[in-house]
Amino acid sequence: MQHLLIEDRGAVRILTLNRPAKHNALNTVLTQELLDSLRAADRDPAIHAVVLTGAGKSFCAGADTTEFSALTPEEPQAVTARADLTTALHLVFSQMNKPVISAVRGNALGGGAGLAIACDLAVMSETVRFGYPELKHGIVAAVVMANLVRQVGRKQAFELVALAEPLDGPGAKAMGLCNRVVPDAQVLETALQMAQTIAGWSPVAMATTKRSFHRVADLALGPALEVGRDANVMMRGFRKAKEA
C-alpha cells in the first residue's frame, strides 16, 4: 500500500491513513486503497472489527484539492470515475458485516468529517476540528451530506455545511456525531478497546445486528419490525442448530 498502513491486533484490523504531510488528504490512490482494504477486511474471517485512524497530527483533512485541476469538464470520464470512487467509499461502511470504529483527532474536515461519521462508531479527541468548510473554498459538501443529514437534525446538518464552522469534540458529541470524547492521547486506545469488545461477540450475531440496523434505519415502523422479526427467526434457528 502506498498511503495506507495495515496492522492486525488479534481479530481487530487497524487501517491508518498515511499521508501525514498532507494531513491524510484523500487523493485517488488513498481513496482506492482504503476502499479495497475495507472490503478485504470484511472478507477476512479472522477479522471481526476494524479501526480507522490517521497518521500524524490529523485524521483526514478531506479531499486532496491539488487533484481538482485535473478533473475538468474536458475530462468527463475522469470526473465521473472520481465521483463514483468517493461515493463507493462512503457507502461501503454500511455494506460491511464488520463494524468500523473511527479514531479521530486533529483535523477531520470535509471528506474527512464524512469519513469519520460514515463509520459505525466514532471516538473523537477533545480538541478535534470537525466540520465542513467546503463553502469557504467555493465548493460543495456534496457526497458527505447523505450521511450527515441522516445522523443529525436537518437544522443542525444545514448549519454545519452552511456556516462552515468547525466543532471540537464536545460540540460533535452534543450533536450526536461521535460516541466518545477523550483526550488526544487516548483516542486510538479507546477505539481499540471498543473494537476488541465487539470482536469478542459471535461474528454471525454481529453481522446480523449490523445488517438489520442499517436496514431498519430508513424504514417505517411496520417494515422495520418485519426486518427484526426475520432476524429473530433466523437467530433462533441458528442457535438451535448450534446447540444440536
What residues are annotated to the active site?
134
What count of other Cβ atoms lies within 10 Å of the Cβ of residue 217? Answer: 11
Give 53-111 as a DSSP string: EESTT-SB--B-GGGGGG--TT-HHHHHHHHHHHHHHHHHHHH-SS-EEEEE-SEEETH
The burial class, CB within 10 Å (0-12 / 13-18 / 19+), for 71 is: middle
Is 78 in contact with 71 (CB distance < 8 Å)? yes
C-alpha cell of residue 172:
460533535
Is 109 in contact with 131 (CB distance < 8 Å)? yes
| CB contact set of 38 (below 8 Å; sequence gap of 6+) | 15, 50, 89, 92, 93, 96, 100
Q: How far is CA 156 from CA 63, 76, 145, 151, 159, in A?
A: 23, 34, 12, 10, 5
User: 177: which strand partners?
Assistant: none
